[in-house]
Amino acid sequence: MNAFNLPQLPYAYDALEPFIDKETMTIHHQRHHQAYVDNLNAALKASDETSTDLDSILQRISEYSPAVRNNGGGHYNHSLFWEILSPQPKLNPEGKLAEAINSGFGSIENLKAEMKKAGLGQFGSGWVWLFVKFSGSLAITSTPNQDNPMMDVQSANRGFPILGIDVWEHAYYLAYQNKRADYLDSFWSVLDWSAVERNMKKPFQKSDKSY
């Protein structure tokens, strides 16, 4: 039995149109994410790893092979990505998340502008993150490839991701071609802030108390 499996989407492949098209969603989920899952299972088997706690693995990713890092990150990042998207999204944050955004960035508009700046500034493939720092405050960062702020290979900007935007070309190129800025603008139309609020409330257990 495989340690990890491809999660089902909570909506149809065409449900996010016109902001994210059906063909992109289908290829992104069935091919790209499936490949990360398959390659992660193979890499863990080769390393004799028996843990199925992906959070713990990512927090100690420096102990693992590049294959586990790349594919474990790919599986985690995409699983989070699907969960925060919705065809009927809550379009504005509320409660403690809204308060934290206003405290850290001044406004939701400033947050979106900073996320877009980080997304456009990420050279090549990668992700843009809103995450909770271990101190409890919110921060924005970008990471290359399939890295994320949870990984112990990050020298700074470490914490628990609650919102991630995939800026690999496979996430947007069929509909947006080289117009990453347009894709980043459209993303907010399908982001479900209620899912981000739930992520912020999840308990986060750090595997290394020296963090």
Domain of 119, CATH number, reads 3.55.40.20
Does 106 map to a domain? Answer: yes
Does 140 map to a domain? Answer: yes
Does 8 map to a domain? Answer: no
Q: Judge if pTM exceeds 0.75.
A: yes
Does 86 map to a domain? Answer: yes
pLDDT tens over the chain, length 211 residues: 578 999 999 999 999 999 999 999 999 999 999 999 999 999 999 988 777 899 999 999 999 999 999 999 999 999 999 999 999 999 999 999 999 999 999 999 999 999 999 999 999 999 999 999 988 899 999 999 999 999 999 878 899 999 999 999 999 999 999 999 999 999 999 999 999 999 998 755 554 433 2
Q: What is the pLDDT of residues 26-79, one digit of tens each?
A: 999 999 999 999 999 999 999 887 778 999 999 999 999 999 999 999 999 999
SS3 87: coil
* pLDDT confidence of residue 209: 34
Q: How many domains does the chain have?
A: 1
* pLDDT confidence of residue 204: 58
* pLDDT confidence of residue 135: 84
Q: Which domain holds residue 55?
A: 21-204
Does 1 map to a domain? Answer: no
Does 155 map to a domain? Answer: yes
Identify whether the C-beta of residue 108 lies closer than 8 Å to the C-beta of residue 181. no
* pLDDT confidence of residue 210: 31
* pLDDT confidence of residue 207: 45
Does 165 map to a domain? Answer: yes
Does 3 map to a domain? Answer: no
Q: Report the alpha-carbon distance of residue 139 to residue 38 in Å, rounded.
A: 32
Q: Which of 208, 185, 195 is nearest to 18 (CA)?
A: 185
Q: Report the alpha-carbon distance of residue 145 to residue 125 in Å, rounded.
A: 5
Alpha helices by DSSP H, the chain? 22-27, 34-46, 54-59, 66-84, 95-105, 108-121, 173-176, 180-187, 193-201
Neighbours of 153 (CB within 10 A): 12
